[in-house]
Amino acid sequence: MASAALPASLPAEPQPLKGVRLLAAAFALALANFVVVLDTTIANVSVPHIAGGLAVSPTQGTWVITSYAVADAISVPLTGWLAARFGTVRWFLISIAGFGLFSFLCGISRTLDALILFRVLQGLAGGPLMPLSQILLLRIFPKEKAGIGLAIWAMTTTTAPILGPILGGVISDNWSWPWIFFINLPVVALCAFGVGTLLAPFETKRVKARIDTVGLILLVVSVGAFQIMLDTGREHDWFGSTWIVGLAIVAAVSFVAFVIWELTDANPVVDLRVFRFRGFSFSTLAISLGFGAFFSQVVLTPLWLQQVAGYTATETGFVVAWLGVFAVLLSPVAAGSIGKIDIRLSISAGILWMAFVSILRASWNADVDYWTLAWPHILQGIGMPFFFVGLTALALSSVPAQDQTNAAGLMSFLRTLSGAIGTAIATTAWDDASASSRAQLVATLNDPGGAMDLLSRAGLTLEQARGAVARMVEVQASTIGVIHLFLAAGVVFVIAAIAVWCAPLPKEVSMGTAH
């Protein structure tokens, strides 16, 4: 990906930092990476609060998640060009300042349209911070200690999703949902001060690099139209609406034009030529399918727990956070196994393990206890490192060294985009599956009149009794619907595991170029 490349001409390399200055600079960079990743999950458990506060449906509330993810994905291809054009440190400071500004504007939004707009801008500002923080961490550490810098970056990337649901739940229940955005402000100020004070010598030379404007516009139009179609399709009756048909046509035409343009442009914003390597193609397919299935579960589970099972946002956060425990602990094991066994074996085993956990989730019911909910999250973390770390290594090892930066950027873009698309599809499918289950349950109710009489004798009015029966039907229908989605996610995981074996085993497997 043209974006991920660093400026070709750099000034004389400054001496790495030492002592307290190194620790302070590393902390500032890691904290910036942490807060950007945190914002991908902190809103997950807060969706019902946001939806209630803005008087919209929970399904519309999920647009707060998908809009950020799509914008974050789109901004990744621009990182290298922006760093070359304005300087790595300078653009880092611009990005972190923009992230803080739009976090504040998200918090003061009082309509869904305004919130989505500022979430998009927040994602666009925050997207470059992940690759830029990694680049700068590698530059401030001595070469012999570069592994420490990468470890710090990796740790913040894996721990942020654990704390996100907990913080989101506690803040939503005890304060109000805008504070999930306001808490970014002191963090942003600290990061900007640390980087601006300590990393000025590490600024890169500014180069008037060309940007693929046509490719970028086609990318934004195609991805944006497709995501809006998925997010709004249900409320517009899908292809019965001229609006949705129009979006579909725009998405399809602009995507075809985008592919043709990128394959023929000398300096594409997304270098699609890297797909000529079969190992990269199937690795990317596997991680896109797997991450779409994974992230859709991460979004649906908090919605179901709060809307159906009666959990608070805080309780939900403490359920979902278990997901990251083994993911953090086993990441070194997954990385250490690279090159020692056929990596496709460990990857497919990790993905199939996640499929097995999806089946475990399908045993849930509306009266499920805490540990029945927590165990699938705990167990899923076992497979995640082998899935994420292994597929990244397989993909990057399948391309020549000179293409690895582009390949890493493209893989990151598609992974993030797949999460947003998977979420949009899953929330719509949940509504459809719940409606279908509700119709079947109503048609097969066993003696509803007798149930109404029992509730009336218990002191309920006729309307209250009807409401109680309707609520019971709704709970069961929503639960059946979400179980269908868990099983469907399991099938997608299996397809992803099969795709891994379509990739040839590289002669040498490594993590390739850091990204």
Q: Is the pLDDT of residue 163 over 90?
A: no
Cβ contact 195:93 at 8 Å: yes
Same domain for 322 and 374? yes
Q: Which pair of structure tokens corresponds to residue 394?
A: 């397989």
Share of the chain above pLDDT 70, in %: 88
Same domain for 124 and 262? no
Distance linking the first and last C-alpha atoms of the chain: 12
Q: What is the average per-residue pLDDT within 299-318?
A: 87
Same domain for 89 and 238? no
Same domain for 227 and 342? no
Band (pLDDT 50/70/90 cuts) for residue 193 is: very high
Q: If you ran DSSP here, which 8-state letter would residue 338 be given?
A: B
Q: Is the pLDDT of residue 185 over 80?
A: yes
pLDDT at 260 (0 to 100): 93
pLDDT at 453 (0 to 100): 64
pLDDT at 445 (0 to 100): 60
Q: Domain tally for the chain?
A: 3
Which of 171, 195, 210 is at the close of a domain? 210
Band (pLDDT 50/70/90 cuts) for residue 232 is: confident
pLDDT at 57 (0 to 100): 84
User: Which of the two residues, 264 and 4, has the higher pLDDT score?
Assistant: 264
pLDDT at 413 (0 to 100): 82
Band (pLDDT 50/70/90 cuts) for residue 436 is: confident
How far, CA to CA in Å, does 446 sit from each of 441, 453, 461, 464?
9, 13, 21, 19
Q: If you ran DSSP here, which 8-state letter would residue 11 be given?
A: P
Same domain for 352 and 373? yes
Distance, in Å, from the CA atom of 360 to the CA atom of 195, rounded to the nearest integer, reads: 45
Q: Which pair of structure tokens corresponds to residue 204?
A: 């890169």
Distance, in Å, from the CA atom of 329 to the CA atom of 497, rounded to the nearest integer, reads: 23
378-387 CB burial, b ≥16 within 10 A, e <16: ebbbbbbbbb
Computed over every residue of the chain, the mean pLDDT equals: 83
Cβ contact 57:111 at 8 Å: no
> What is the pTM for the complete model shown?
0.80
Give the range with max mean pLDDT: 95-104, 161-170, 196-205, 223-232. 95-104
CB atoms under 10 Å from CB of 348, counted, come to: 22
Which of 248, 266, 284 is at the close of a domain? 266
Share of the chain above pLDDT 90, in %: 28
Same domain for 288 and 368? yes
pLDDT at 3 (0 to 100): 42
Distance, in Å, from the CA atom of 467 to the CA atom of 472, rounded to the nearest integer, reads: 9
How far, CA to CA in Å, does 262 sit from each of 54, 219, 269, 273, 413?
40, 10, 7, 8, 15
pLDDT at 495 (0 to 100): 96
Residues 6+ apart with CB under 8 A from 241: none
User: Which of the two residues, 105 and 1, has the higher pLDDT score?
Assistant: 105
Kindly report which listed range (75-84, 265-274, 468-477) carries the lowest average pLDDT score.
468-477
List, for residues 381-397, the tens digit of each pLDDT value.
899 888 888 888 888 88
Same domain for 262 and 379? no
Same domain for 258 and 292? no
Helix 47-54 crosses helix 112-126 at what angle (to 10 degrees)? 140
Q: Is the pLDDT of residue 12 over 60?
A: no
Same domain for 237 and 347? no
Same domain for 221 and 287? no
Distance, in Å, from the CA atom of 283 to the CA atom of 398, rounded to the nearest integer, reads: 9
Q: What is the average per-residue pLDDT within 454-461?
A: 62
List, for residues 248-258, the tens digit of each pLDDT value.
999 999 999 99
Q: Is the pLDDT of residue 477 over 90?
A: no
* CATH label of the domain that carries residue 321: 1.20.1250.20
Same domain for 441 and 311? yes
Domain span at 19: 1-210
Same domain for 245 and 203? no
Q: Is the pLDDT of residue 94 over 90?
A: yes
Which of 189, 210, 231 is at the close of a domain? 210
pLDDT at 431 (0 to 100): 84
